[in-house]
Amino acid sequence: MPAEVEFVLGRAGSGKSGKLRSDISCLAKKGERVNLIVQEQFTFENERMLSSELGGLLGVSVISFTSLAHRVLKETGCGKTFLSPQGRRMLIRKIADENRKRLRAFGNVSQMPGFTQKCDELFTKCKRFLITPERLNSASEMLPEGDPLRNKLFDISLLYGETENFLKANYIDGDDLYNELCERIPKSSVAGSHVFVDGFERANEQIYSVMKKLMEHAASFTVSLRTDDSKGCRDAAVFEPDKRAYHKLHAMAKELGCGIKETKLPRNDTPWVRRSTPALSHLERELYAYPALEYAERQNCITVFEASDRVAETEALAAAVQKFSREGYRYRDMAVMTPDMDSYSSLIRREFTRRRIPFFMDAKRPLRDHPAVELIVSSLRCASRGFMQDDMLRLIKSGLCGLTGDEAEIFENFILQYGVKGNKFKEPFKQKDTPPEAEYARQTVMNPLLKLKEGLLKQTAGEKTEALYEYLVETEVFETLSDRVKSMEIAGRLELMEENAQVWNIIMELLSQVYEIMGGVKLASTRYIAILEEGLNAYEVGIIPTTIDQILVGSVGRTQRSGIKILFVTGCNEGLLPPVQNDDGVIDDAELAVMSEFGIIPWANTAESAEHDRLDIYGAFSKPTDSLWLSYTLSLEEGSGTPSVLIDKIKKIFPGTYVQSDIKCGTANLCDQAAIELNAKRQCENLYCPEAAIKTLIKQLRAFADSGERECVSCEFYAWFKRADEYEAVLSKIESALFYDPSPPPLGEELAEKLYKKHMGGSASSLETFAKCPFMHLVQYGLRASERPEAKDKPMEIGAFYHKALDAFTRKVLSGRLTWDKLHDADCDSIMDGILDKLVMEYRDGALLETARTRARYSRMSRVLKSTARAIARQLSPGDFRISGSEICFGRDQDYPPLVITGTDGACYELSGKIDRLDKSEDGKYFRIIDYKTNGAAFKFEELYEGIALQLPLYLAAALAAEETAQAAGMYYMPVMEPFADEKYEEPSVLTEKLYQKFRLKGLALSGAQPDRSISTSPPVSGEQLKLIMEYAVKKAVDILNRIKCGEAAVRPYSAKNIIACGFCPYKSVCGFDPRISACGCRFIKRMNMTDFFEKLEGENT
């Protein structure tokens, strides 16, 4: 017998839910069976309220439509395996891969991320609106060839049909539940019970079919809907979605012959009406009314806040929450809603946590960010891709592979230092300095991985899944997660505890789904991993509130709660509230209209979706009873920068609404006394929260430092923190940061002596480093900090390789029978080949020969060295100079004695170094030094003057001190490079000559002893000038050494044209140098030619 159907109709707040709970209470007290159906996220709230009213829930069930389907299937028995949404996504991925070549419209995008998600959404819509694959295929055949919609419908029907064919025999998914529910309701406990439906979210044909069955077999059926069909209703359009639902349900009830009753609320005798303030009641009636009526009286329960950015917006939100809390409101009486949870959730979480505001975030988090998922994905990739280094690093960083934090860090450092990858992980580490922790970590990680690798070699997906499960058991992931959950519980991190407690069960559910769907299917490892990742990416983790008294934070459309006294809505910007409905779906509105012409009832188009959004906003704004707080941001980087049209509408309805702002002068005139008093009141309120107050004080002090106006600083703030002992250190740091200077004060001679261990001399390179930036010198040579060693081809390492090869080449020629004038290009190449065969194996254990990429790099390095060797031979062949020595060291117990220089205090310093090459004339009267530079370098007098380029003159001085009978004839840089022609020349001989001219020496040459212009274009200097240059270099070295001895460590990098020392500094993250800060200045070096240089010296000497 059909049920008695009652429609409870009324506006938001008219008491519909209260009436339903009252009727349920009456029936429950009579012993009747009652089922209350609400939206999924509203079940907990309704259970709590009904339990409070009835003293329990005996005979009353509060469920969603999905929960009802699961319960009915469990009662009546269902032999099919349930397929989760994640399992269906994995199935779609499998089917899409198998049918990729058959797809007409989506073939090229079927492998892209998100494709299966879009397909799943389309299939869900089709099922909910009772659209079968056959109907889609028929519609596609009726469209003309070449029509994009024809190809789309064909592809959708193909993938949709294959998915349904796979499911219909043994499986059932979330959308099939409703079809099964309709068939089984007559045999279930729902039949004969009283059913109440308190609203539903965007109903579809499946839900309507379920409600029709409930009307047919329930004892009574009551449904509440938001409508207002009273005469003179000026906002009837806002109720259009629920009106359509009412007419459809009314027609069903009439068709079944049900008794129909309508209850329209509110009535004068209704005790369930939401008692809101007059202003909020007026807003509920006028928000979407046309024309809207102004509120005649002054109101103080609606607040609008204009923020400079979202950070300021969430700070103001938190301050407002604390303000209402101090006024006596409980946190559970308040709620925060936002149209953009993705952007606001992290900001709100951080600010509420900082202010110790208890909150519940009504949003699900994606599982893909969890360490357990990272472990699964990276371990599968490791085992299937040959233990690539990046995969291994991701694996050990998951924290779930059986290593402690210290062991994982040591293992990571070792991997990066020696470039361990591939099969090298399978064998014990053979390096001499291998830490025992690194070898232990290798065994701990690799033993389970090798077993997983063997399992992945098996053919079927079921066998691979078993191997993965065994891997997770062996690595004790469940035990580690359980320990973390206990730790979080002890620490009071209940929200994270709830999330982590679900992870293991979710992973097991996923593996079960894979095993059930594709257990016997043969899959390659790459496809298996892709399908598994698809499933993992689809999972989300949600929790229920962990305490009673906490503020609810959720989205405008999703979050449901009754009894809200204070509502905060953030993100009230154009484009967010209401959201923009873009007509850019896989099937757009025009195509939906074409489908409807073929008799297919489509899902909602953008216009209908906008109607639902408008109803959601109306319902949200109607929730609060005491106060409504709205905010928006003016930042263009974070949105439109324009307030929502709803803000403008509210200003028109309530003309006296004052817009608060964190921006100086805001949207109101600060000369207005009311505005001044309001801003002062807001500042004083911050004193209730020191964390917020200190942040406000920082902003005020920053404004004072920038402008010099004392009015920027609140004296009350400053005085309060000055008196508070616990904030003394914090306030001191703030004050010092106002006039920030990254440079530390001078260290003093005593500390400098300890840091540099009395070896003040060092090398020319250390002096040049100090000249570039004293702080860089402190960190590198005083603190001896270094970057983490990594097996990468760094410029310094490549340069050392070049120097070693050229030294070996020089020594080979000098020790053999060949002379430089008889050394041909082929001879140079042959000698260099023999040298490189040995050196390449010594360079990082042969790393240059491991892969095609490194071999290509080695090939280029080989060409560079051969070209340079040929250039050396060509330069020496016609001249009077011959190489006397290579890699000549000067210092204690070296080839040459150290260069001893005397400081202004009489202290002696010893400089050491290594001369790349020293040439002597055949008569022994002259010598010159040559420094190899990768890609070459030019001698610049301004760099010599500033002390940045002291190496050549100091090395020349050291050689001159050792060569008693010879005279210095020059100092040069020689490029180490592979030359390329700038132009095309017809004659090969001309081309060759042009190429070798790129190796010309650059530096300074003694007048009368300079080489041919084909070898060098260096300017000539007199013997006296060369002597002055060496003396100046020594003098500059003494000056730098004195400054080092005094402990100077200022952050003062040099800057020249297009060059700044920070660009090449590995310590720039340490010093805190920021050119935007006034205290962070560079030493600008101007160009200087030889004439300018000697004029400077002459001026200084006089």
* 165 in Cβ contact with 604 (< 8 Å): no
Residue 487 token pair: 């730790």
For residue 319, how many C-alpha atoms fall within 13 Å in the half-sphere facing its CB?
25
- The pTM assigned to this predicted structure is 0.77
* 70 in Cβ contact with 40 (< 8 Å): no
Spatial separation of the C-alpha atoms in residues 612 and 608, rounded to whole Å: 6
Backbone angle region of 169, left / alpha / beta, with phi > 0 → left and psi within -120 to 50 → alpha = alpha
Same domain, 438 and 351: no
The DSSP bridge pattern shows strands 913-921 and 81-83 to be unpaired
pLDDT for the residue 858:
92
Confirm whether 297 is domain-assigned: no
Same domain, 651 and 727: no
Place of tokens 């040298």: 835
pLDDT for the residue 38:
92
Same domain, 846 and 963: yes
Q: What is the CATH number of the domain that holds 645?
A: 3.40.50.300
Sheet with 334-338: list strands edge to edge.
359-361, 551-555, 334-338, 566-569, 627-633, 302-307, 659-661
pLDDT for the residue 666:
39
pLDDT for the residue 664:
57
For residue 117, how many C-alpha atoms fall within 13 Å in the half-sphere facing its CB?
11
Spatial separation of the C-alpha atoms in residues 781 and 776, rounded to whole Å: 8
Same domain, 693 and 565: no
The DSSP bridge pattern shows strands 1083-1084 and 1002-1006 to be unpaired
Handedness of CA 1033, 1035, 1041, 1043 (dihedral sign): negative
CA angle (170, 174, 176) in 5-degree steps: 60
Alpha carbon separation from 969 to 72, 365, 645, 821, 955 (Å, rounded): 100, 73, 82, 21, 13
Local structure of 474: helix, strand or coil? helix
pLDDT for the residue 1100:
80
Q: Give the CA dihedral 497, 501, 507, 512, nearest 10 degrees.
A: -160
Confirm whether 882 is domain-assigned: yes
Same domain, 508 and 579: no
pLDDT for the residue 863:
94
Same domain, 595 and 706: no
- Boundary-marking domain end, from 629, 657, 685: 657
Same domain, 122 and 185: no
pLDDT for the residue 317:
94
Same domain, 471 and 390: yes
Confirm whether 338 is domain-assigned: yes
Spatial separation of the C-alpha atoms in residues 727 and 715, rounded to whole Å: 16
| H-run or E-run covering 37 | strand 34-37
Same domain, 497 and 634: no
Closest residue by Cα to residue 1001 from 989, 983, 1022, 1019: 1019
Residue 858 token pair: 């080695």
For residue 189, how many C-alpha atoms fall within 13 Å in the half-sphere facing its CB?
16
Same domain, 520 and 565: no
For residue 644, how many C-alpha atoms fall within 13 Å in the half-sphere facing its CB?
24
Q: What is the CATH number of the domain that holds 476?
A: 1.10.486
Same domain, 337 and 373: no
Place of tokens 């409905």: 581
Confirm whether 653 is domain-assigned: yes
DSSP string for 850-865: SSHHHHHHHHHHHHHH
pLDDT for the residue 688:
61
Spatial separation of the C-alpha atoms in residues 59 and 67, rounded to whole Å: 16
pLDDT for the residue 240:
92
Local structure of 1029: helix, strand or coil? helix
Confirm whether 183 is domain-assigned: yes
Largest interatomic CA distance in the chain: 125
Task: Classify each residue of 180-217 as buried b or exposed e, where b means 16 or more C-beta atoms within 10 Å of its C-beta.
Answer: bbbebbeebebbebbbbbbbbbbbbbbbbbbbbbbbbb
Spatial separation of the C-alpha atoms in residues 178 and 1073, rounded to whole Å: 63
Domain membership of residue 373 as a residue range: 366-541
- Boundary-marking domain end, from 496, 520, 541: 541
For residue 703, how many C-alpha atoms fall within 13 Å in the half-sphere facing its CB?
14
Place of tokens 């009641």: 281
Confirm whether 746 is domain-assigned: no
pLDDT for the residue 670:
38
Confirm whether 743 is domain-assigned: no
Residue spans of the chain under pLDDT 50: 665-676
* 574 in Cβ contact with 643 (< 8 Å): yes
pLDDT for the residue 108:
87
Spatial separation of the C-alpha atoms in residues 97 and 522, rounded to whole Å: 13
Per DSSP, helices labelled H in 763-851 are: 764-772, 774-777, 795-815, 825-842
Q: Does a cis peptide bond (omega within 30 degrees of 0) precede residue 2?
A: no
pLDDT for the residue 682:
54
Handedness of CA 1025, 1029, 1034, 1036 (dihedral sign): positive
| H-run or E-run covering 338 | strand 334-338
Same domain, 16 and 152: no
- Boundary-marking domain end, from 541, 571, 587: 541
pLDDT for the residue 540:
82
* 155 in Cβ contact with 65 (< 8 Å): no
Confirm whether 962 is domain-assigned: yes
Closest residue by Cα to residue 49 from 36, 66, 68: 36
* 775 in Cβ contact with 743 (< 8 Å): yes
Structural domains of the chain, count: 6
CA angle (980, 985, 988) in 5-degree steps: 85
pLDDT for the residue 963:
83
